[in-house]
Amino acid sequence: MSDKYTPKQILKYIRLAIHEAEKARGMCSPNPFVGAVIVKDGSVIATGHTQAYGKDHAEVVALKKAGSLAQGADMFVTLQPCSHWGKTPPCTDAIIKAGIAGLWFGIPDPNPQVNAEGLAPGTISGIQGMLDAGITVNWGYMEDEIKRQLEYHLCRIQLQRPFVILKSALSLDGKYAAMDGSSRWISGEKSRKAVHHLRETVDVVMAGFATVMADDPLFTVRLPQPKRQPLRAVLDTELSIDPNSALIQSIAEAPIIIFHKKRLDAMQRQKAAELKELGVELLPISSQQGRLVLDEVLQELHQRGFYSVLIESAGGLAASFIAENLVDKFIFFLAPKLLGGGMAALKALQLNNIKDALDLEITDCQYSGKDIMITAYPRY
């Protein structure tokens, strides 16, 4: 352990790197969004965050900003620097070449391309090379915060599937719609704006056919200057979607993929041809008991480099993902309304005994205008 910096100073710079990383959230998939800070003589001389996929990583961005001042300076990074060739050269090579004196990073990268054999000096590619070059290397700072920040990346590497977030807007008595099916708007304006910001940070927005039919949504990011538009995915077993729906007619705004069963009848094949002509991508998926196999859906997205999925549902699709332990994070918007009736969220989940309840760990609870926004993680 180096004594060049006090623990308080190290945490200060790692925290700054965490803040810097947030600038790249949702902008560099499938790469993790990372932050880097370069310090010399007690002052921050450069910061950097991961650029779009195929472009510079955070460490290289910071090194380019620092220029010749990087010689003899120290670097603080949220995630272990990569040491392999991919779309870009190894960051460890750039760090060595720049003359960095010390490296502090938050957590090791579980990606086997980066960290195949653990962090013991002499066994991990890249770390030993920096040690041999005379660079002081330390790690293990603000690990819980960084693991939470990089939850998409860790899920993609460790579970080999995208990280799944379930977002639901509900009345205070747990209803997602009134008895007539109307649901616009349960949540308030501030909550709806928060959802647009959330969409902007994920790779895929997903819904079931029932939601598309009931709400005729767009699922686009509608902010003054959106940084990106996510892929819009619909699970529609029978390919029942209306080509004239608002979603399909907005194909020019953001790509759409529809997952459907493998065997289509003549009318469904005709509709498939029409949808393809409009620019919609169709992907046949295995089905069981009339439902698409969700693991297969997620694997298709994983193989395409998508590492975060936002499900906008409170009904059957949400229940199916929960039943298969495929939801990694919950975001609830609870509006100060009572709707009564039978349109209960997750009604299809069919948990008969209190012992079967899914326990959640609430990590954040705050007002969103007049609504309450709750963030929670499942305890499967």
**Residues 123 and 259 grouped into a single domain:** no
Confidence of residue 182 (pLDDT cuts 50, 70, 90): confident
253: left (phi over 0), alpha (psi -120 to 50) or beta: alpha
Domains in the chain, number: 2
CA-to-CA separations, 15 to 3, 33, 38, 40, 244, in angstroms, rounded: 19, 15, 13, 17, 48
**Considering only CA atoms, which of 198, 236, 187 is closest in space to residue 220?**
198
Shared domain for 139 and 166, answered yes or no, is no
User: How high is the pLDDT of residue 226?
Assistant: 86
Residue 155 falls inside a structural domain: no
User: pLDDT, tens digit, for every residue of 185-235?
Assistant: 889 999 999 999 999 999 999 999 988 888 888 999 998 888 889 999 999
Q: Just list the catalytic residues.
A: 59
From residue 325, alpha-carbon distances to 58, 253, 329, 350 in Å are 33, 32, 11, 14
Q: For residues 207 and 258, give the distance between their C-alpha atoms in angstroms, rounded to a whole number.
A: 10
Residues 172, 212, single domain; the answer is yes
Q: 3-class SS at 145?
A: helix
CATH number, domain at 46?
Answer: 3.40.140.10
Share of the chain above pLDDT 90, in %: 72
* Strand-pair partners of 75: 38, 103
pLDDT of 172 reads 92
For residues 80 and 165, membership in a common domain is answered with: no
- Name the amino acid, one letter, at 330: F
Element (H or E) spanning 322, and its range? helix 316-323
User: Do residues 42 and 185 both lie within one domain?
Assistant: no
pLDDT in tens, 27-68: 888 889 999 999 999 999 999 999 998 899 999 999 999 999
State the average pLDDT over residues 298-312.
95
Judged by average pLDDT, the poorest of 28-37, 257-266, 335-344 is 335-344
Q: Are residues 167 and 314 in the same domain?
A: yes
Mean pLDDT for 283-297 is: 94
Evaluate whether 107 touches 147 at the Cβ level (below 8 Å).
yes
Are residues 174 and 144 located together in one domain of the fold? no
Phi and psi at 139, nearest 5°, equal -155, 170
Phi-psi region of 75 (alpha: psi -120 to 50; beta: other; left: phi over 0): beta
Q: Is the pLDDT of residue 77 over 80?
A: yes
Q: Give the predicted TM-score (pTM) of the model.
A: 0.89
Q: Average pLDDT, whole number, for the chain?
A: 91
In this prediction, residue 1 has a pLDDT band, given cuts at 50, 70 and 90, of very low
Instruction: Give yes or no for residue 88 having a pLDDT over 90.
Output: no
* Mean pLDDT for the stretch of residues 289-313: 94
Assess if residue 290 is contained within a domain.
Answer: yes
Residue 248 pLDDT greater than 90, yes or no: yes
pLDDT in tens, 116-160: 444 444 445 568 888 989 999 999 999 999 999 999 999 999 999
193 and 340 in a single domain? The answer is yes
Q: Is the pLDDT of residue 114 over 70?
A: no
- Dihedral-angle region of residue 81 (phi above 0 means left; psi in -120 to 50 means alpha; beta otherwise): beta
Same structural domain, 337 and 362: yes
Q: Give the structural domain span for 282.
A: 161-378
The terminus-to-terminus CA distance of the chain in angstroms comes to 37
242 and 359 both lie in a single domain: yes
Q: What does the pLDDT read at residue 121?
A: 45
115 has pLDDT over 70: no
Q: Are residues 178 and 138 in the same domain?
A: no
